[in-house]
Copies of this chain bind each other. A is one copy, B any other.
Amino acid sequence: MTNMEKLRSRLQEIARIGSLLNIALWDQEVNMPPKAADSRALALAEASGLLHQKFVSIDSDGLLSGLKAELDAGALSGGDAVVVRETWRSFEREKKLPERLVKEIALTASQAYEVWAEARKKDDFDMFLPWLRKMVKLKREEAEYVGYADSPYDALLDAYEPGMTSKEVTKVLSDLKGFLVPFIRKIKASKSKVDDRRLKGKFPIEAQESFNRLVAKEIGFDFAAGRLDKATHPFATGINPSDVRLTTRYLVEDVFYSIGSTVHEAGHGLYEQGLPGEHFGTPLAESVSLGIHESQSRMWENMIGKSEPFWRHFYPKLRKAFPKPFREIPLKDFCRMISKARPSLIRTESDEVTYNLHIILRYEIEKGMIEGTIDPADTPRIWKEKMKEYLGVDVPNDREGVLQDVHWAHGGIGYFPTYSLGNLYAAQFYRAMKKDVKGIERKMSQGDFMPVLTWLRKNIHSLGKTYRAGELVERVTGKPLDSRYFIEYLEEKYGRIYGL
């Protein structure tokens, strides 16, 4: 075996054990009986520690350092260079973290999750506060171990969006905020109103399930290599490219509630199914970053899944499955309704325009907590103030305020900005794709989604971590990341809907 083969084989071993961890994480949300919560938390923590230990011992005989020296000397190229570069990057981060801290974060995450779920139900922030404090403390500790130039937040962000700094994030999000706040006021003031009350009805869950399955299948999700289940908080898990699992959620009165989240998660799932399985375990079969991942889900959910071409194909099927109310609603009205912009309390239910202000608010608060300028105890108040300032919304309680998202309980601090980056990447990619592939919207309106998927597979999915996010965006679109493409997209679409 060459040294490269040895490295790949060690990485695969770790990834195989890791895939069992991912199954258990999926199971925790989809199947686990309630009394198993504590033992599962301990098992997941144990496995996280073990994986960490296995990963940092990958260089115990100098295998990785040796390959890194070859890389630096220019002796590696192609896939080999990518594997060594990216493995080294993760290794450098991981080896700085003591196993004790890795296990403690994993265990705290599981426990804090249980408390958060209860606290949210009871609208009791004080119940959650000690766990938020503990998690912030642990993540600050993580940041100190990892190290950073500017802000400890950078050390956390880097785990989700490699190479990105909070300075860059602040820049693009400020540009976006500068556009969004007045844009939303304009929409509010517009005489053109969208009334979506007629979308509501009574949609049996089983019929919704069939329809969701149909949509996921037709846009290219392979059910022989994946599943679609129910979960309280929809998510997608790639156990490996031949086992990708989506979840969605259902409301009897609102069929679009499940469709939107299915198309979103299918976007993630198509990325996971499109990673090259033969490189499983190595960075060549890993997604670029959470931001790029989110670009896939948001493109399918919003740019495609709320577009007229998409619904020109699916609307007859929806009408057939649910004649009431859709037989009475013309296609164009339906498309306007599902795109309605309206400031609201809950991020996951918000529209494409207001969504990013929810993210900006969370970004500012979590960055403050990590930098030590915001005390966790003050987050409910700051949340309410910012919701009022950015969206004009009064937050009546913490359940629909600071307690609404699981991320902080789960230790996902540094994660939120990747959602907005995803929107920006998505708009920039979508624009490039429409330019590259002539007649792509006409194809979609005929039910042919293959041109979209083929383009994504070729330009993004099949490349794994070959390029960093910034590099990938430039290669694919010819321009560095810029919020103006997303802004143009919103101006065009919402200008049309609201006659601005």
Q: Is the CB of B222 within 8 A of A35?
A: yes
Chain B nearest CB from A212 CB (Å) reads 17
Q: A223 to nearest B CB, angstroms?
A: 7
Given contacts A39-B240, A39-B242, A243-B40, contact A24 B33 (CB under 8 A): no
* A280 contact set on B, CB distance < 8 A: 39
Chain A residues with CB under 8 Å of chain B are 13, 16-17, 19-21, 23-24, 27, 31-36, 38-40, 42-44, 46-47, 50, 222-227, 239-240, 242-243, 277, 280
Closest to A36 in B: B243
Given A35-B222, A280-B39: A47 and B17 within 8 A (CB)? yes
A240 touches B16 (CB 8 A): no
Which of B23, B40, B242, B277 interacts with A33 by CB under 8 Å? B242
With most chain B CB atoms within 10 A of its CB, the pick from A16, A31, A36 is A36
Question: Could you tell me the distance between the alpha carbons of A252 and B47 in the complex, rounded to whole angstroms?
Answer: 42
Residues of B contacting A224 with CB < 8 Å?
Answer: 33-35
List residues of chain B with CB within 8 A of the CB of A243.
32-33, 35-36, 39-40
List 16 additional A-B contacts (Cβ < 8 Å) besides A33-B225, A34-B224. A13-B46, A16-B42, A16-B46, A16-B47, A20-B24, A33-B226, A33-B227, A35-B224, A36-B225, A36-B239, A36-B240, A36-B242, A36-B243, A38-B242, A39-B277, A39-B280
- How far is it, in angstroms, between the C-alpha of A100 and the C-alpha of B432 when the chains are bound? 50
Q: Which residues of B contact A35 (CB under 8 A)?
A: 222, 224-225, 242-243
Whose C-beta in chain B lies nearest to the C-beta of A37? B242
For the complex, give the distance between the alpha carbons of A20 and B36 in Å: 13
Chain B residue at minimal CB-CB distance from A44:
B20
* A17 and B33 within 8 A (CB): no
Residues of B within 8 A of A277 (CB): 39
User: Which residues of the partner chain B approach A31 to less than 8 Å between Cβ atoms?
Assistant: 227
**CB-defined contacts of A222 to chain B, threshold 8 Å:** 35
Residue contacts A-B, CB under 8 angstroms, 20 given: A13-B46, A16-B39, A16-B47, A17-B47, A19-B43, A20-B24, A20-B44, A23-B23, A24-B24, A33-B223, A33-B242, A34-B224, A35-B224, A35-B242, A35-B243, A38-B242, A39-B239, A39-B240, A39-B280, A40-B243
Known: A27-B23, A27-B27. A46 touches B32 (CB 8 A): no
Residues of chain B lying within 8 A (CB to CB) of residue A34: 224
Query: Which residues on B sit within 8 Å (CB–CB) of A43?
Result: 16-17, 19-20
- Find chain B residues with CB under 8 A from A24 CB: 20, 23-24
- In angstroms, how far is the closest chain B Cβ from the Cβ of A68? 25
CA gap between A46 and B46 in the complex, in Å: 17
Cα–Cα, bound, A239→B20 (Å): 14
